[in-house]
Structure 1
Amino acid sequence: MRLSRAEYKEIVRWTEQLKPTRQCMRMLRERFSNHSQSTLLSIFSLEYQKRIKRTISRHHAPDVIESHYQRYLSKAKAHPTAPVLLDLANEVDFSPALMARIILDRFLQDLEGEMPSKTVLNNMLKEPSLIPDQTLAKNVYQCTVNDCCYGPLVDCIKHAIGQEHEVLLCDKLKEKNLSFLDENQLRARGYDKTPDIILEVPIAVEGHIIHWIESKASFGDTHSHRTYLNEQFWSYWNRVAGKLEPIPVDFGKRRGTPETGRQLIARFGPGLVIYWYGFIGELDCQRDRGILLKDCFPTDIVTLGHAAQQD
């Protein structure tokens, strides 16, 4: 779904005061019934993460952590069956899952007399039954299942959705009988930084030559798209399609090719980015420079064989 910048800003204005709970999505769906739930959730998640990044340092100040912890202890003692940690996170406008992490970390410091390892902390957040305090375990669980933007449950869902859309992309390519290499095949061949798909024979979409395809199971807003352009897309585009050139590098722990001991740097060319949950239409302004944006798999593909027949 392509949204104009004005449409996107209207949705963003509605998200500014919402909490990252399941109920917020019901409110967004009611207000913007012509947009899919996946698009609305992706936009809300992106905007909420920006909000958290602006305030997270405040919640990690030692005195603030201690204040949050003591408030939790007091309320949990007075109301042992209430979702006090979730209520506290909403009250101070902070992610419930991140609040649970802070309080659990502080609890383990008291219990063990030292800073807990990240492995222990992460394992307990993923499986709250490991927490040696039943009340805290219940509160941590309530925070993680009610946070739609952060936490181990959200991370697992995002990973699964990303893989699902990569499989969907591969299935669409196979339906069109297009020859391609996926990211796993490219890495097995020693390629360095790669798109999700490299087409072994280029195609044309809306009059633009496509050598590679990147799948993004998210909404393309200005900030995320600019980041992807700088960190991924331009590096793909700046390379010449179809060649493989060994470049000497200082590996350290990085793996080179066994034959040459050199890193294989792929050279690609112009490509297509699919934002499955939509994007701001005005961002699709780099077509002449080799970056085409779509919100679905293209239906108007021209292959080399079709072009030859037309000629």
Structure 2
Amino acid sequence: MMSQIPDLAGGNGQQKRKILSGGEYNKICRFINGFHGLAIDCEFELRNRFFRDVEPMALTCILQSELFNRSRGHWKQDQRGKRLLKAYEEQKNLYYDNALLIRMACAEALNPVALCRMLLQEKYKDRHRSHISQLLRHPHLIDDPKLAANVQQCIVSDNQEGSITDLRRRIVGEEYELKLKNLAKEAGIHFYDEKDLRRMGYDKTPDIKMILPFLYKGSVINWIESKANFGDTKGHKSNIQQQLQSYCNRFGPGMIIYWFGYHEETPALPDNNIGITVLADFPAKEDLVFMQLAHEEYSAETPTTKEDSSSGSQPIVAECPTKELKKLS
């Protein structure tokens, strides 16, 4: 019934397209919204049959975003949990493969873990929500063995919600943050990371903050944010409101990297005019221009190289000489 989870690398190693036109992005969304079945099967079809030339993780991220938007209204339907629990109780003895809840999830167009949460909240409605979350993390604690087995099957069959999926996304996010730092070091960039900035007293911090800013195709870059995600226009606007605008206000212009690509309109959004550059990969070495200080000039002028504690909103190197910007060789 369920397809095998496709590998993260995308299979044959060929270069996949990351930047999608509006028409292609809409075509992918229409396929997702017209698919009847589990999200894990939809992901398999997207990646292995219909959009094989597109970056596989871009497809995974678009699927996640579309299903999240679809499910936002389900929590307001208080009667749905009662109906789901009643249906389960009436049918649980008709099947012996522990896949009843998965069948119900397909019929209801719900993620399996979301269906389990609704059903468990109704079954244990006198318990706190934290208890329901614990049962979803450890289904063996459910006092009904058959229900416990069904919930366990849902957890391992859901690629959108649940502890396994959360762990996978966290690992991927940390992997690409590490990739950003390694590439920055290889390019000769000196930076503070999030831990450094938090020790300095900052609350909202980008993944890396340049000690000396550099130029990327003529734009000053003071910070870089890593996103192991696909940059659709709606999600990018949300990132600006929640994170990037505060980085620009505090540190000046910067860059966001959507490692799995972006909608072709995302870099051109007017919202980026506050000083945001959008890329789908780490910038090429030949496009970087570093600020280099002559030794004798540095000794004579003793420019500021640390942030003034009285004004955290100023870029670190505001007083450094700029006449010796040199192209990287």
TM-score by structure 1 length? Answer: 0.83
Residues 136-170 of structure 1 deviation map (CA, whole Å, 9 limit, x = unaligned): 11111111221221222211111111111111111
| 1:268 and 2:255 correspond | no
1:309 & 1:188 partners in 2: Cα distance? 32
Q: CA deviation at 1:57?
A: 2.0
Q: CA deviation at 1:134?
A: 1.5
The match for 1:11 is 28
Equivalent of residue 102 in structure 2, options 86, 92, 110: 86
- Within-5 A mapping of 1:99-118: 99-109=115-125, 114=126, 116-118=127-129
Q: CA deviation at 1:78?
A: 2.2
Q: CA deviation at 1:55?
A: 3.8
2:187 & 2:72 partners in 1: Cα distance? 42
Residues 31-55 of structure 1 deviation map (CA, whole Å, 9 limit, x = unaligned): 0110122111101110111111144
Residues 75-113 of structure 1 deviation map (CA, whole Å, 9 limit, x = unaligned): 11222434111111110111211111111222334xxxx
2:192 & 2:42 partners in 1: Cα distance? 40
1:275 & 1:308 partners in 2: Cα distance? 28
1:15 & 1:160 partners in 2: Cα distance? 25
Q: CA deviation at 1:12?
A: 0.8
Contact 2:80 2:118 in 1 (8 A): no
- Within-5 A mapping of 1:173-188: 173-188=184-199
Aligned residues: 275
The amino acid of 1:291's aligned partner reads I
| 1:64 and 2:52 correspond | no
1:144 & 1:46 partners in 2: Cα distance? 19
1:199 & 1:216 partners in 2: Cα distance? 18
The match for 1:303 is 290
1:303 & 1:106 partners in 2: Cα distance? 60
The amino acid of 1:16's aligned partner reads N
Contact 1:183 1:196 in 2 (8 A): yes
2:38 & 2:262 partners in 1: Cα distance? 21
The amino acid of 1:27's aligned partner reads E
Contact 2:233 2:265 in 1 (8 A): no
Contact 2:40 2:159 in 1 (8 A): yes
Q: CA deviation at 1:276?
A: 0.8
Unaligned runs of at least 5 residues, structure 1: 239-266
Over aligned residues, Cα RMSD in angstroms?
Answer: 1.9
Q: CA deviation at 1:56?
A: 3.7
- Within-5 A mapping of 1:187-226: 187-226=198-237
1:25 & 1:80 partners in 2: Cα distance? 27
The match for 2:262 is 279
Instruction: State which drifts further: 65-74 or 80-89.
Output: 80-89
Contact 1:20 1:149 in 2 (8 A): no
Residues 176-217 of structure 1 deviation map (CA, whole Å, 9 limit, x = unaligned): 221111112211221121111101111111221100011111
Q: CA deviation at 1:118?
A: 2.9
TM-score by structure 2 length? Answer: 0.79
The match for 2:11 is none
Residues 256-288 of structure 1 deviation map (CA, whole Å, 9 limit, x = unaligned): xxxxxxxxxxx2000000011111121102565
SS in 2 for 1:302: strand
1:288 & 1:136 partners in 2: Cα distance? 53
Kindly indicate whether structure 1 or structure 2 has the higher relative contact order, using CA contacts under 8 Å at least 6 residues apart. Answer: 1
1:126 & 1:117 partners in 2: Cα distance? 15
Q: CA deviation at 1:123?
A: 2.0
SS in 1 for 2:62: helix
Q: CA deviation at 1:74?
A: 1.4
Contact 1:219 1:279 in 2 (8 A): yes
Unaligned runs of at least 5 residues, structure 2: 1-17, 294-323
| 1:24 and 2:22 correspond | no
1:104 & 1:186 partners in 2: Cα distance? 42
The amino acid of 1:193's aligned partner reads K
The match for 1:77 is 93
Identity value in percent: 32
1:174 & 1:309 partners in 2: Cα distance? 18
Equivalent of residue 278 in structure 2, options 283, 293, 306: 293
